[in-house]
Each structure stands twice: as structure tokens, then as C-alpha cells.
Amino acid sequence: MINYVEKLQKEIRLRIQQIEAEDKNILKKSLDASHVLGNAFDQLKEFIIAYQFQDEDEEILFFKEVKPKIFCHLIYYRKVYNIEMHRPVASVEAQKEYLKRKLDVIQDFNDKILDFYRYYRSGATYLDAAYFVRGQPDTEQYLETFYYERDPQFSTNADFKVAKIIANDMLQAYLLSELELLDSYMLKPNSTSFPKVKLTWTGSKTDLIELIYALDTEGCFNNGKIPLIQIAAYFESVFNIELGNNIARNFYDMRIRNHPTPFLDRLREEIRKRMENFKPGGKDKNKGKDKDGK
């Protein structure tokens, strides 16, 4: 089971990375991602219905951890699509009120399943057999209507709740990022204050976002008292690049990579090599040598 899931997750991750890297608006990206995830989920469902779990522990593992970690992305992208589809095109204040109401919906959901929310967040396991084994009676009688939750062979009392909790974490980061963008709309640096010929960032957007998050985490600007979105806007203006409206989503993807900080790791290695190859006075040790090092 694990081998199949890991292969499927890798395929999903590659397709989503391709979609996120494309120059499309958020509606197109979220719709394309939803299609990819929906198809993958159908494959997973078909596999699990035909699969015989080795024991109860493996079944709990699947419905508590494996399925929700895939399902949450489908929920997230569908929610983003619906939010942006109905987002007002009026004033900044109207948009802010709209996004704040969406944040309230998340809190309402958490309040509605508060007992389970506390159980899951605490890392408890004593009720796992009731929550994450199929065929158990639903003591809370609460399930949000969703296509993939209709088949009792592919759902338990709580796997959807877990997926929604994780998706809401992602969605909350997205909404807060959008609110910060609106708040800083009038504060975006004026390009006239920079040299007429700008430096252009020629690395990848992901590398720059990785660097921005590292600098923000260290509190390198204004003693750490400046919103991340303003730092991103500043870098966009200085380095002539568009980072998109959802760098929080990029940060989430960075967290789940096998190597979370490849760019920073590469920077450290390259500067170390540069130090080793330079003598006092700034001269390169390799300067003047031929290709054979002579």
C-alpha cells in the first residue's frame, strides 16, 4: 500500500508543481490542480476498495494520515477556486470584508467539530479505532456533503474532518496572504526610487521565495517588524520579477519537499567553495592555471 501511495504522491507533486510554475491566473491554476487531484483520488479510491489492509493499524494509518494528506489539497484548490470566482471586484475594503468572512467560516467549522479538533491536534490515539476504521457508527452525525465521502468502503467517521482541518490551515494562510496584499497595496515601493536599469532576478521564483522567507524568519528587515508581503513586493520591484499572489502556498510546498531548502543549501556550499578558492587580497587560487591545474 505504501509503495503505491508514494508513487501516486510523487506523480501528484510533479503535476502540481508544473501547474503552479505556469504563468496562469489563480482561477486557472486552481481548476487545473483540482482536475489532477480529482483523477488521482479516483485512482486511490479504486486501489483501496480492492485492497485488503494487513491489520487495523494499517487501516488507521491510511485513513488518519495518508488519505487526508492527499485529500486536503483537493479541498484546498476547490475552495480557492470558489473563493476567487465569487470575490468582489469592487473596492479594496469590500474585498477585505469578503476574505475576512471566509476566515470566519474556517473558525466556525473548527468550533463545530471542537471535540474532534482538540483530539486530532493533541496527537491523541485512544479513539482512533472509532474515528479511522470503516464501518464504525458516526457518534457525531456530522459529515459535510462531498462526492468522495459517499462510499463507506472509502471513508470513515473522521478522515474527511482531518483533511478539512489541514486544508483549512492552507486556506487560512492563503486568505491572510491576500489580506496582506490588500493592506500593502498603497505601500508598494515606487519604482522611480530605484535605478533606471534594474537588476533582473534570473534564478527561479521558488529560489527567491525561499530566500525571502529565510530573511524574514531571521528578522533582517526593520528589526523583523515588516509584513512578509511587503518584503516580497520590495523584491519584486528591485529585481524586476513577479512572484504571484500566493507565496504562502509556495512556502507550504517547500515544507513538504524531500529537501526543504535546496537553494539555501546550495548558496552555503558555493560561498564556502569561493572562500576556499581565494587567497588573501581577493585573488583566486585557480587564477592563471590551465585546464590541467598547472
Q: What is the pLDDT of residues 40-82, one digit of tens each?
A: 999 999 999 999 999 999 999 999 999 999 999 999 999 999 9
The x, y and z cell numbers of residue 157, run together, are 467517521
In 10 A of CB 249, how many CB atoms?
23
Q: At 150, is the pLDDT very low, low, confident or very high (cuts 50, 70, 90)?
A: low
For residue 143, what pLDDT band results from cuts at 50, 70 and 90?
very low
What pLDDT was estimated at residue 4? 92
H/E segment holding residue 273:
helix 262-276
Angle at 221 between CA 217 and CA 222, to 5 degrees: 120
Gyration radius from the chain CA atoms: 24
Residue 221 has pLDDT above 60, yes or no: yes
What is the distance, to the nearest Å, from the Cα of residue 255 to the centroid of all Cα atoms in its chain?
8
Proportion of the chain above pLDDT 90, given as a percent: 41
| Rounded Cα–Cα distance for residues 270 and 154 (Å) | 49
Angle made by CA atoms 233, 237, 241, in degrees to the nearest 5: 90
Torsion sign, CA atoms 263, 269, 275, 277 = negative
Evaluate if residue 278 carries a pLDDT over 80.
Answer: no
234-247 mean pLDDT: 80
pTM of structure: 0.62
Q: How far apart are CA 59 and CA 133, in angstroms?
A: 6
| Mean pLDDT for the stretch of residues 134-157 | 65
Q: How confident is the model at residue 188 (pLDDT cuts 50, 70, 90)?
A: low
